[in-house]
Amino acid sequence: MLQEINNWGDYRNKVREFDAVMEHAKAVASALFGQAAPAAHIRYGEQIFMTLLTHCISLRNLAGDANQRMPADLWGVPPMSAVARCVVEAHDAFEYVTGHDVGTAERAFRLLLWELHDQTRHLKMSAEAAPGDARAAALRADVQHRQSELEGHEYLRNLPPELQAELRRRLARGEPPAFHLSQRQRCAMSGVDADWHSAVTGQLAQYVHTLPSTVRQLASFKVETPEALRVVAMPLLFSLPFLVRTTQAVVKLMQGKVPEPPSRTARTMALWRGVAQPKRPSP
The upper half-sphere exposure of residue 4, i.e. CA atoms within 13 Å in the direction of its Cβ, equals: 9
Determine the pLDDT at residue 6: 93
Q: Is the pLDDT of residue 185 over 70?
A: yes
- Condensed to tens digits (0 to 9), the pLDDT of residues 206-221 reads 999 988 988 888 888 8
* Confidence label for 251 from pLDDT (cuts 50, 70 and 90): very high
The more confidently predicted of residues 135 and 123 is: 123
Single pTM value for the model = 0.93
Q: Which among 173, 164, 171 is positioned nearest to 146, based on CA atoms?
A: 171
Which amino acid does the sequence have at 270?
A: A
Determine the pLDDT at residue 65: 84
Q: Is the pLDDT of residue 283 over 60?
A: no
Q: Determine what percent of the chain is predicted with pLDDT higher than 70.
A: 96
DSSP 282: P
Q: Is the pLDDT of residue 262 over 80?
A: yes
Q: How far apart are the first and last CA of the chain?
A: 23
The more confidently predicted of residues 72 and 156 is: 156
Alpha carbon of 21 to those of 17, 27, 179, 214, 281: distances in Å? 6, 10, 29, 30, 29
Helices vs strands, H then E, count in the chain: 12, 0
Domain residue spans of the chain: 1-283
* Confidence label for 127 from pLDDT (cuts 50, 70 and 90): confident
Q: Determine what percent of the chain is predicted with pLDDT higher than 90.
A: 74
Determine the pLDDT at residue 126: 80
CA distance 108 to 98: 11
The more confidently predicted of residues 22 and 68 is: 22
Alpha carbon of 157 to those of 41, 116, 170, 179: distances in Å? 22, 17, 15, 16
Determine the pLDDT at residue 179: 98
Q: Which among 209, 166, 261, 265 is positioned nearest to 78, based on CA atoms?
A: 209
Per the CB < 8 A criterion, the answer to whether 6 and 226 are in contact is yes
Mean pLDDT of the region 225-235: 92
- Condensed to tens digits (0 to 9), the pLDDT of residues 45-92 reads 999 999 999 999 999 999 988 887 776 678 899 999 999 999 999 999
Which is it for the CA torsion 2, 8, 11, 17, positive or negative? Answer: negative
Determine the pLDDT at residue 131: 67
Determine the pLDDT at residue 75: 86
Q: Which conformational region is residue 100 in: left (phi greater than 0), alpha (psi within -120 to 50 degrees), or beta?
A: beta
Determine the pLDDT at residue 129: 65
